[in-house]
Structure 1
Amino acid sequence: MNHKRSLVRRTAAVAAAGAAALVLAACGGNGDSSAGHDGHTSKSPSASASASQGQHNAADVAFAKGMIPHHRQAVEMADLAPSRAESAEVKKLAEDIKKAQDPEIKTLSGWLTSWGEEVPTEGAMDHSAHGADGGMMTPEEMDQLKNSSGKAFDTAFMEMMIKHHEGAVAMAKTEQADGAYAPAKKMAGAIITSQTAEITQMNKLLGKN
C-alpha cells in the first residue's frame, strides 16, 4: 500500500510540476512576445482582407442596395414568363435573366453583410433610390404584366424589361465611374455588357431595329 501511495504522490507531483511548467511557459511566451504577436494578429486579417477585396466606398454601398431590389423585380418578372409567354425567345430570355441575376443578388447581399450594411428586405422596392432612370416597374405595371398572356405578355414583358435593363445599365455605369470596390466594378461591367445585349435582342424581337 505504501508503495502504491508514494507512486500516486510522485505521479501527482510530476503532473503538478508539468502543469506549472506549462503555465510558466505560456506566461513567459505571452510576456516575451505579446506586443509583436498581438500587433501581428490585429493587423494581418484586415491587411489581407484589404489586399484581396480592396476598399469600398459609399457608391459601392449605394450600388449594392439599389441593385438588389432591382434584380429581385427582374427575377419576379422573369418568373411570370414560363406560364404566360407565347414566344420561345421570350421564355429563353426570361430564363437567362433569372440565371444571371439570382446569383448576383446573393453576391451583392454578401458584400453588404461583410461591410456591416443592411441588406434590403424582400419586397422592398424603393423607387426613389433609383432616381428617375431606375427603370423599376410600378405595382400597376406589375399587375398589368401578371394579368396578360400570349403575345400581349411577350410585348409587355419586353417593353418593360428594356426600360428595367436601361435603369440597371445606368446604375452600373455610375458604379464604374464612382465605385472603389473592384469586384463591384467588375459586376457592373458584366451587367452593362449582358443587359445591353439583351436590350438589343428585345428591340429586334419587337421589330424596333
Structure 2
Amino acid sequence: MTRTTARLTGLTAALLTGALVLAGCADDPDAAGHGSMMSGSSSPAGASAEQAQFDDADVAFAREMIPHHRQAIAMAELAEGRATDPRVLDLTARIQAAQDPEIQTLTGWLDQWGADHMDGMGHDGMGHGAGMMSERDMHALMSAGGTEFDRRFLEQMIVHHTGAVQMAETQIADGRDADAIALAEAIRDSQSAEIAEMQQLLANLGS
C-alpha cells in the first residue's frame, strides 16, 4: 500500500465514524432534548408561568367599585350646607378622604391591566344593585336639610356601604391580584366599621 492510499483509507474511516456518531445523536431523544435546552428555547409551561397575575374578578371589582365610590363621594359632598350634626359632617369628610385615593388606585390598575374603565357602562351602569342610590333617592337627599338630611344620609349610606362590603367579599373570594385583594379587605373592614358607627349615630340622632 502506498502512502497516498493509506492516507485516503484513514480519511474514509474517520468520515464513516463521524456519520455514525451523528446518526446516533439524531436517534437519541435525550440528546435531541438536551440540544434544544442548550440552545435556550423555552417551554410552554415556562411561558404560562409568566402570565399576568390578575383575573376577570379583579377587573370587575375595579370597574364596579369606581362608580360606587364616586356616588359615595357625591353623597358626602351634599352634607356641606345641609347636615347639622357635627358627627355626620365628620363622617362625610372621612368618606371623601378615604375613597378618592382608592378611585385613583383602582383607575391605575385598570390602566395597568389594559382594561376599559367602564366596559361600555355609563356612570350609573351598575343600576341600583350593590347599594347604589337611585336618581330619586339622590334628589330626595339633595332636597333635605337639617336633621332630615342627617337621617336620610345615614340610612342611604348604610345601604351603600353594605353593597361595597358585599363587592369586597366577592373580590376576596374570587380575585387573583394580591394588591386588589388587600384593598378589598381594607374596604370590607373600614366600611363595616362605618356601618356600625352610622347605625349608632342614627339611633342617637338629635341627642
User: After TM superposition, is the score higher than 0.5?
Assistant: yes
SS at match of 1:81: coil
Using the TM superposition, give the Cα deviation of residue 123 of structure 1 relative to its aligned residue in structure 2, in angstroms: 6.2
Q: Find the counterpart in structure 2 of residue 124 from structure 1.
A: 123
**Among 162, 182, 185, the residue aligned to 1:186:** 182
1-structure distance, mates of 2:121, 2:153: 22
Of 126, 132, 139 in structure 2, the residue corresponding to residue 136 of structure 1 is: 132
- Given that residues 69 and 123 in structure 1 are in contact (C-alpha distance below 8 angstroms), is that contact kept between their aligned partners in structure 2? no
C-alpha separation between the residues in 2 aligned to 1:122 and 1:178?
22
Q: 1:113 aligns with which of 103, 111, 114?
A: 111
2:36 alignment partner in structure 1: none
> RMSD between aligned alpha carbons?
2.3
Superposition deviation, residue 126 in structure 1: 1.4
- Point out the structure with max Rg over C-alpha: 2
State the match for 2:192 in structure 1: 196
Moved over 2 A (4+): 120-123
- Structure 2 residue 156 is matched with structure 1 residue 160: yes
Give the number of aligned pairs.
Answer: 159
Cα distance in 2 between the residues matched to 1:163 and 1:127: 15
TM-score (normalizing by structure 1): 0.71
Q: CA deviation at 1:127?
A: 2.5
Q: Which runs of 5+ in 2 are unaligned?
A: 1-38
Structure-1 separation of matches of 2:103 and 2:70: 7
Q: Deviations over 1:35-87 (max 9, x none)?
A: 98xx9xxx9xx96xx7xxx6010000110011000000000001111211000
| Partner of residue 93 from structure 1, selected from 74, 91, 94 | 91
Find the counterpart in structure 2 of residue 10 from structure 1. Answer: none
Mapped to 2, the partners of 1:94 and 1:162 lie a distance apart of 12
Specify which of 153, 169, 174 is matched with residue 173 of structure 1.
169
TM-score normalised to structure 2 length: 0.71
Amino acid at match of 1:161: M
CA–CA separation in structure 1 for the residues paired with 2:148 and 2:122: 26
| 3-state SS of 2:53 partner | coil
**Aligned 8 A contact 2:64 2:126 in 1:** no
Matched-pair identity in %: 48
Asked if 2 retains the 8 angstrom alpha-carbon contact of 1:112 and 1:119, the reply is yes
Measured against aligned partners, the alpha-carbon deviations of 1:74-115 in whole angstroms (never above 9, x if no partner) come to 000011112110000000000000001000001001101111
1:154 alignment partner, SS class:
helix
Equivalent of residue 58 in structure 1, options 56, 59, 62: 56
Mean Cα displacement is larger for which, 85-94 or 119-128?
Answer: 119-128
| Inter-CA distance 72–122: structure 2 relative to 1 (3 Å threshold) | farther
Matching residue of 1:146: 142
CA distance in 2, matches of 1:123, 1:139: 14
Whether the aligned pair in 2 keeps the contact of 1:137 and 1:164 (CA below 8 Å) is: yes
- Unpaired runs of 5+ in structure 1? 1-34
